[in-house]
Amino acid sequence: MNSKRMTFSYILSFALVILVWKVAAMGVSSPVLPPPEEALHAFVASASTMVFWKHFGISAYRVIVSILVAWCLAFPAGIIIGYSRRIDMVLSPMIFMTYPIPKVVLLPVILLLFGLGDFSKIILIGIILFFQILVATRDGVKSIDEKYYDSLLSMGATDWDIIREVVFPAALPHSFTALRITTGTAISVLFFVESFATTSGLGYMIMDSWARAAYTEIFVGIIGMSILGLALYETFRYLERKVCPWRANEVDKQDEESTATSVTHILSRIIIYAHMIKFSHTVFALPFALASLVLVWRIAPLDSNTVFWVIMAMVGSRSAAMGFNRYADAAIDSKNERTAVRELPAGTISRHDVVIFIVLSSLLFVVSAAMLSLLCFWLSFPVLFILFFYSYTKRFTWLSHIILGFGISLVPMAVWVAVAGTLSSRIAVLSLFLMTYIAGFDILYSCQDIDFDRQEKLYSIPAVFGIQNALRASTFLHIVSVLFLASLYWIFALHPVFLVFVVVIAVLFFVEHRLVKPNDLTKINVAFYHINSIISVLLFVAILAGELLRGVL
Amino acid sequence: MIHVESLHKEFDSGSLQVLNDVNFSVDDGESMAIIGPSGCGKTTLLYILAGLTGHVTGTVMVDGNSLKGPSRDTAFILQDFGLLPWKTVWQNVCLGMKLRGVSRKDQQITAESLLEGLGLAGHRGYYPTRLSGGEKQRVAIARALALKPKILLMDEPFSSLDTFSREKLQNTLLEIRKLNQLTMIIVTHSIEEAVFLGNKIMVMSQRPAQVKAIVANPKAGHPSYRSEDTFFAMCRKIREMMEET
């Protein structure tokens, strides 16, 4: 897996954990299982104190020293046992006999022999890791193909030559894999040894919070340990690739192969879906919802639950709409060179799977709406209808751009209804900004497909009125949208700094339009995507700053 | 010169007889192809000649001396080449020289000219997993030649290659042999390969392997031989011998 996909998997798994945690916390509804945002908040607060880092540092020290010592002893021993048949015959039965015995039970003995300090803790973690690494290394040496020995022997190699040139490099990756896999064990044992007879370390922190019934703090410790484990795991992974460069290809291959196994398989599917619906764009659509939240904050109190379900509703509705759009347009996309690489026409995802995906996303949207209010629940159905309906509009009207804009412009109004329980003409102005903004740049986007649209008899402003007119229409819409945006300043009595941001956004619009020329549309894709993301983030920052600084200065 | 007389080899303390009274000799600069049914003991014979398998009865003499172990004058290319996956092309080629204590500077000179000559100059930093079968075989040849051997032993050197790469490499091998005046013993199960490469073709029987016949094949040694009528006649002859029981 490349690093981009890795990062993406991490973000997705993280989101998944948070979601499950959130649902579980709501289900349990007990202080023992605080909601994720509360735990994360407490964690961030802790992470800015020295006490937390002292505990973290001591835990890290104990586990890292244990690992280093265990590896330095186990790896050479594993090589010798694996290579020498005679030593193997003597020692292996002993190792395999004692291997299944849980070494944690030795803790009392070790504490009695070596005292209560770090030394005993390191010894216990070290012993457990030692056997894991030893066995993995020995098995790794045993699995070396005889032909490597033969080819070296035929060149007159000595035992030492063979150990240096064959056994050592062949066993190295096995020991790293063992390290990677035993990270979980190492952290578990760390928790065990830190859970008593000590006053430092993350394990102590968890047990101490437990004793004080400080449930949120338990989770601060848990998050700390998770981070420690994750950091170690990734370090070993990195080292394995750096120290064993010839394995880089194999490791990648293994990753591809293991996509057949459940977790990675699901993850890789999620990534494909995320590509399909351009999930990253959702992240850039979120600021619209967040900006609306900031504005509605003034008239109604906000709690973390509302924010959470608003975001879920946003993700659900956008995924459903985007998925449906790809589904409805699969036949059209496959004919267009620009879109034929999309996942559905390209066959990466089956139609059946997409239907399931759309249903699940819609469900997420409806459930999130229901969690917000009953009114939202009922309104979620017409909203879904509008979102799905858009996909068909380009078959009969060139107003399709406006309908798309309208669909997205529902966000501020929906947020307002969700939080305040009513509609307001004030927030509608933000919606009008979004509608004209999105419609304007959708027109620019569709300029790329003008020939295709004409040939397939699809309706779009460029296809019906020509590029020149389409660019004019887009310019007009964007001028109007800047006016709507600016008017928010008076409507919501925002701080003047808001106007500064409006000017910046207006300049970005101007740049966008300068990039596109009737005879050169090549700049549309990449530059646009970036500028639009900046605009959407700026919008949020503008409203946030305008709101927060209100009354100041 | 290699001289083998009444060679016997048994495995598992006598329960598995592999070679039964094998006799042959190969002169300096000559090439002999050993052909026989799979599992007959050809590879064992090659391992014995490489000094990797001992405990034999009979005589194995190389240049008048009885063979005691791997010799500095013999290079052995194993089936599947035996390239170390954790070493780059360059490191693999230098490996034998490193083991024999050749100075770094000499290693470099030799490796560079060999890689150049075998068309591998651009691949020196690659790990074997990135190479095609033909490229791997050329690296293995380079590694063997780097030891400046007098005798080259090869076990099924081209069996995993496609026809085109195989014939190209067979031609390369002919050139190399001529250039270095190598004595060569090659084990193969391909009749065409045996006829194309061997001045002598030793046909072996089922296990325990005995020598059925040693056929002189003086015309071998030219790339053009492959399309001559005498080549096909020789192939037919060898095939008939192998089919005889």
Q: What are phi and psi of B234, to 5 degrees?
A: -65, -40
The CA distances from residue A459 to A336, A525, B140, in Å, are 15, 21, 64
Tell me if chain B has a CB within 8 Å of the CB of A89.
no
A409 burial type by CB count under 10 A (0-12 exposed, 13-18 middle, 19+ buried)? buried
Residue A52 reports pLDDT greater than 80: yes
**SS3 (DSSP) at B132:** coil
Question: Are B196 and B220 a contacting pair, CB within 8 Å?
Answer: yes
Strand B2-11 relative to strand B57-62, pairing: antiparallel
Task: Express each pLDDT in A312-338 by its tens digit.
Answer: 899 899 889 888 988 888 877 777 777
pLDDT the model gives residue A276: 65
Cβ A147–B52 below 8 Å, yes or no?
A: no
B14 burial type by CB count under 10 A (0-12 exposed, 13-18 middle, 19+ buried)? exposed
Residue B160 reports pLDDT greater than 90: no
For residues A385-396, one letter each, b for 16 or more C-beta atoms within 10 angstroms of the residue's C-beta and e for the rest, the string is eebbebbebbee
Cβ A244–B86 below 8 Å, yes or no?
A: yes
Q: What are phi and psi of A88, to 5 degrees?
A: -60, -45
Question: Are A126 and A69 a contacting pair, CB within 8 Å?
Answer: yes
- Cα gap B196→B238, rounded to integer Å: 12
Domain ranges of chain B: 2-73+150-243, 80-148
The CA distances from residue B178 to B157, B173, B181, in Å, are 18, 9, 5
- Cα gap B204→B9, rounded to integer Å: 15
Which residue is listed with tokens 């799979």?
A: B38
Cβ B129–A166 below 8 Å, yes or no?
A: no
Q: How confident is the model at residue A253 (pLDDT cuts 50, 70, 90)?
A: low
Task: Express each pLDDT in A408-437 by its tens digit.
Answer: 899 999 999 999 888 888 899 999 999 999
Residue A243 reports pLDDT greater than 50: yes
pLDDT the model gives residue A279: 64
pLDDT the model gives residue A5: 62
Question: Are A428 and A413 a contacting pair, CB within 8 Å?
Answer: yes
pLDDT the model gives residue A260: 41
- Cα gap A27→A70, rounded to integer Å: 43
Which residue is listed with tokens 């998770």?
A: A226
Closest residue in chain A to residue B154, using alpha carbons only? A151
From chain B, the residues in CB contact with A148 under 8 A are: 82, 84
Q: How confident is the model at residue B185 (pLDDT cuts 50, 70, 90)?
A: very high
Q: Give me B39's structure tokens.
A: 């599992």
- Cα gap A51→A208, rounded to integer Å: 13
Give the mutation candidate from B43, B74, B76, B86 for the A interface (greatest A CB count, under 10 A).
B86
Cβ B76–A154 below 8 Å, yes or no?
A: yes
Residue A197 reports pLDDT greater than 70: yes
pLDDT the model gives residue A486: 93
pLDDT the model gives residue A32: 84
Tell me if chain B has a CB within 8 Å of the CB of A141.
no
Residue A154 reports pLDDT greater than 70: yes
Q: How confident is the model at residue A59 (pLDDT cuts 50, 70, 90)?
A: very high
> Which residue from A150, A245, A246 is facing B82, i.e. has the nearest CB?
A150
Cβ B129–A250 below 8 Å, yes or no?
A: yes
Tell me if chain A has a CB within 8 Å of the CB of B100.
yes
Instruction: Of A45, A44, A46, A64, give the one whose Cα is nearest residue A55.
Output: A46
pLDDT the model gives residue A196: 77
Length of chain A: 553
Q: Which residues contact A520 (CB under 8 A, 6 or more apart)?
A: none
pLDDT the model gives residue A504: 92
- Cα gap A183→A461, rounded to integer Å: 58
Give the mutation candidate from B99, B143, B156 for the A interface (greatest A CB count, under 10 A).
B99
Tell me if chain B has a CB within 8 Å of the CB of A146.
no
Single-letter code of the amino acid located at B164: F
Task: Express each pLDDT in A288-300 by its tens digit.
Answer: 888 999 988 888 8
Q: Return the CATH fold of B2-73+150-243.
A: Rossmann fold (3.40.50)
Residue A278 reports pLDDT greater than 60: yes
pLDDT the model gives residue A257: 47
Region of B145 on the Ramachandran plot (φ > 0 left; ψ -120 to 50 alpha; else beta) = alpha
Q: Which residues contact B155 (CB under 8 A, 6 or more apart)?
A: B42, B43, B46, B76, B77, B78, B79, B187
B 5-64 near A (Cβ less than 8 A): 47, 50-52
> Which residue from B83, B87, B147 is facing A155, i.e. has the nearest CB?
B147
> Which residue from B47, B51, B82 is facing A148, i.e. has the nearest CB?
B82
- Cα gap A117→A111, rounded to integer Å: 8
A 226-245 near B (Cβ less than 8 A): 244-245
Residue A1 reports pLDDT greater than 60: no
Q: What are phi and psi of B223, to 5 degrees?
A: -55, -30
From chain B, the residues in CB contact with A151 under 8 A are: 76, 78, 82-83
Q: Which is more confident, B106 or A332? A: B106
Cβ A157–B99 below 8 Å, yes or no?
A: yes
B 121-180 near A (Cβ less than 8 A): 127, 129-130, 147
pLDDT the model gives residue A256: 47
Q: Which residues contact B229 (CB under 8 A, 6 or more apart)?
A: none
Question: Are A306 and A348 a contacting pair, CB within 8 Å?
Answer: no
Q: How confident is the model at residue A306 (pLDDT cuts 50, 70, 90)?
A: confident
Q: Which is more confident, A457 or A523? A: A457
Residue A264 reports pLDDT greater than 60: no
Cβ B129–A249 below 8 Å, yes or no?
A: yes
> Which residue from B80, B96, B130 is facing A147, i.e. has the nearest CB?
B80
Tell me if chain A has a CB within 8 Å of the CB of B72.
yes
Q: Which residues contact B147 (CB under 8 A, 6 or more apart)?
A: A155, B72, B75, B96, B97, B100
What percent of chain A has pLDDT above 90? 30
A 154-193 near B (Cβ less than 8 A): 154-157, 161, 165-166, 169-170
Tell me if chain A has a CB within 8 Å of the CB of B90.
no
H/E run at residue A346: helix A343-346
> Which residue from A153, A155, A170 is facing B86, i.e. has the nearest CB?
A170
Closest residue in chain A to residue B144, using alpha carbons only? A155
Q: Which is more confident, B111 or A29? A: B111
Closest residue in chain B to residue A164, using alpha carbons only? B99
What integer best gives the mean pLDDT of chain A? 85
Tell me if chain B has a CB within 8 Å of the CB of A53.
no
For residues B150-187, one letter each, b for 16 or more C-beta atoms within 10 angstroms of the residue's C-beta and e for the rest, the string is bbbbbbbbbeebeeebbbbbbebbbebbeeeebbbbbb
Residue A112 reports pLDDT greater than 50: yes
Name beta bridge partners: B215: B201
Q: How confident is the model at residue A445 (pLDDT cuts 50, 70, 90)?
A: confident
- Cα gap B99→A430, rounded to integer Å: 76
Task: Express each pLDDT in A465-523 by its tens digit.
Answer: 888 888 899 999 999 999 999 999 999 888 888 999 999 999 988 888 888 777 777 77
Closest residue in chain B to residue A166, using alpha carbons only? B84
What integer best gives the mean pLDDT of chain B? 87
Question: Are B49 and B185 a contacting pair, CB within 8 Å?
Answer: yes
ipTM for the assembly:
0.90
Instruction: Of A385, A440, A435, give the one whose Cα is nearest residue A413.
Output: A435
Single-letter code of the amino acid located at A312: M
Q: What are phi and psi of B214, to 5 degrees?
A: -120, 115
pLDDT the model gives residue A66: 94
Residue B194 reports pLDDT greater than 50: yes
What is the least distance, in Å, from the CA of B76 to any CA of chain A?
6
Task: Express each pLDDT in A333-369 by its tens digit.
Answer: 777 777 777 777 766 777 777 888 888 889 889 988 9
Mean pLDDT across B39-53 = 86
